[in-house]
Amino acid sequence: MRRKRWPAVSSLCTAFLFFAAACTDRETTAPSRTTAPPALQAARAPGGGGGGNERRHVVTLIGTEGSDFDAAVAGVGGTVDRRHTDIGVVTVRGLTAAGAEALAARPDVASVDADITLQWIPQPGQLFRQATAIDAQAAPPSALGTDQSRAFFFAIQWNMQVIQAPAAWVATPAGGGRLVCVLDTGVDPGHVDLAGRVALDKSISFVEAEPDIQDLNAHGTFVSSLISSNGRGMASVASDARLCAIKVLAQDGSGTFDDVISGILFAADEGADVINMSLGARIDLRQKGARGLVHVLQMAVDVATRKGVVVVVAAGNEAVNLDKDPGFMLEIPAQLDGVISVGATGPINQQNFDALASYSNFGGRSGIALVAPGGDFGDLFNEPVIDLVLGACSRTQTVLPTADCTSGGSFLFGDGTSFASPHVAGAAAVVESQLDAAPSGQVERVTACILAGADDVGPERIFGAGRLNVATGAACPGSAGHNNARVAGRK
């Protein structure tokens, strides 16, 4: 994926705010919210990471596992790490290649695949720049609630205005009563625009080396703030929604398939209404074990959608027409079935707000469902940061050495489909807060409303259904009979 650019703006401050604008019990097992998860060491592929007993394998079962399964795993040198009973998968640690081959020969085992660690988001620090100062004296002293038009930076949040978020704030419950779970690098729940927004009892880390949800990167905090914020420094899409943070990516933006799978299943079990995954990787299905792991990832998404969770994902930043991919290449999770895959738009010098961003993947048949603001750079060294998207910066980020975000009131500018996706996740919460509870068909109703409400900004083969319009989507009657054909994932 193309690296994101993260310029920062440092500011004159009030005493409180500093604006530096710059994922023999047979039930599913998961790490405790208060203790470190089990030690996990995934094999990097190709050619890196641990080997031998440090490797983790994802075991897909045929039907119900035999009563002697645990003993058989132990007999080949492994231990059971996690059970995903909803999808018939067991994760095992400590297998050698010979042990994995022996386990795969069991009649209750369909496949045994070595887990793979991928770089799911770019490393953000390389193109970080310092910009001019902003006087933050007029920042609201407390959370604004539903109507966030008085947020300090609202005037430069072109993204919120383009998608008609302010109209939705005043005409809808603004996501009230809905839970959006963000699978990412964690979150900073102490940031002034996220304080009180994060449901800590529904948040968790699946990353062994980082056993709490605190964001050591910056990505997860930035993404979360676009979905729902307090409206002090910045406005958000679903201003009354709650957030949960599920850390599936490490500080460097890498993560394993099984950690992402675990995060999806956990969110579904915790009652998430929406999952946002601003992460992605382009994978060659000819790589050993890739097809099996992608299949398990798809099964996890299927479970989530069956439980009524709308799954929104970033389309990726390679500027690729995904409709013309060779059959052995897949953008994940963007090209899975049942997800809403989001491409990015961005202006240049505040002109043409609905232009496809220069980096965004596209393709309205198999690549993206619609587009949303992600920001863009014109000239890498001379462009105005005002064409980028603003988001909160984690106090504990360590990847941007020139950005001091320790005050808890700091903000960054960035661009990427990672930042387009949360606009749609927030919109899904807004739309769902408009609909009566339904035991089935909720995902289809919400998706149909979002796609039907999108503004036509260009050919479907490029933009999918169009550019997100939160207000129009929320006004949709939400009939499950609306056309849902552009939900991504037809490979």
Residue 13 has a pLDDT of 29
- Residue 480, pLDDT score: 34
Q: Round the average pLDDT of the chain to a whole number and report it.
A: 83
Kindly provide the b/e burial profile for residues 261-294, where b requires at least 16 CB atoms within 10 angstroms of the residue's own CB. bbbbbbbbbbebbbbbbbbbbbbeeeeebbbbbb
Catalytic residue check, 418: yes
Q: What is the DSSP string of 401-421?
A: TT---TTS--EEEE-SHHHHH
Minimal CA–CA distance to 314: which of 442, 184, 203, 435?
A: 184
Strand partners, 157: none
Query: Active-site residue 219, yes or no?
Result: yes
- Among 205, 278, 418, 421, the one annotated catalytic: 418
Mean pLDDT of 121-134: 48
Q: How does residue 20 score in pLDDT terms, banded at 50, 70 and 90?
A: very low
Strands 242-247 and 179-184: parallel
Domain residue ranges of the chain, discontinuous segments joined by +: 11-21+121-475, 43-114
Assess whether 184 carries a catalytic annotation.
yes
Distance CA 121, CA 281 (A): 8
How far is residue 418's CA from residue 463's CA, in Å, rounded to a whole number? Answer: 16
11-21+121-475 belongs to which homologous superfamily? Peptidase S8/S53 domain (3.40.50.200)
Q: 401 falls in which pLDDT band (50, 70, 90)?
A: confident
Cα distance between residue 298 and residue 264, in whole Å: 10
- Token duo for residue 321: 């027409």
> Could you tell me which of 252, 269, 242, 228 has the C-alpha nearest to residue 83?
269
What values do phi and psi take at 171, rounded to 5?
Answer: -110, -5
Strand partners, 356: 345
What does each C-alpha distance from 206 to 36, 257, 429 come to in angstroms?
A: 9, 11, 25
What would the pLDDT profile of 209-232 be if each residue is shown by its tens digit?
A: 999 999 999 999 999 999 999 999
Cis (ω within 30 of 0) for the bond into 347?
no
SS (H, E, C) 122-155: CCHHHHCCECCCEECCCCCCCCCCCCCCCCCCHH
Of residues 138, 374, 162, 372, the one with CA closest to residue 233: 138
Confidence of residue 367 (pLDDT cuts 50, 70, 90): confident
pLDDT at 132 over 90: no
**CATH homologous superfamily of 43-114:** Peptidase S8 propeptide/proteinase inhibitor I9 (3.30.70.80)
Stated as kind and residue range, the H or E segment containing 5 is none
- Phi-psi category of residue 187: left, alpha or beta, with phi > 0 → left and psi -120 to 50 → alpha: beta
Task: Tell me the C-alpha to C-alpha distance, in Å, between residue 3 and each of 126, 128, 132, 358, 416.
Answer: 8, 11, 23, 12, 9
pLDDT tens sequence across 143-201: 667 899 999 999 999 999 999 999 999 999 999 999 999 999 999 999 999 999 999 99
Please state, in angstroms and as integers, the Cα–Cα distance from residue 27 to each residue in 30, 61, 258, following that order: 10, 15, 17
Catalytic residue among 57, 84, 191, 219: 219
Q: Which of 86, 115, 184, 193 is catalytic?
A: 184
448 — phi, psi (to 5°)? -60, -40
**Model pLDDT for residues 428-449, shown as the tens digit of each residue:** 999 999 887 665 788 999 999 9
CB contact at 8 A, 187 and 205: no
Query: 180, 276 in Cβ contact below 8 A?
Result: yes
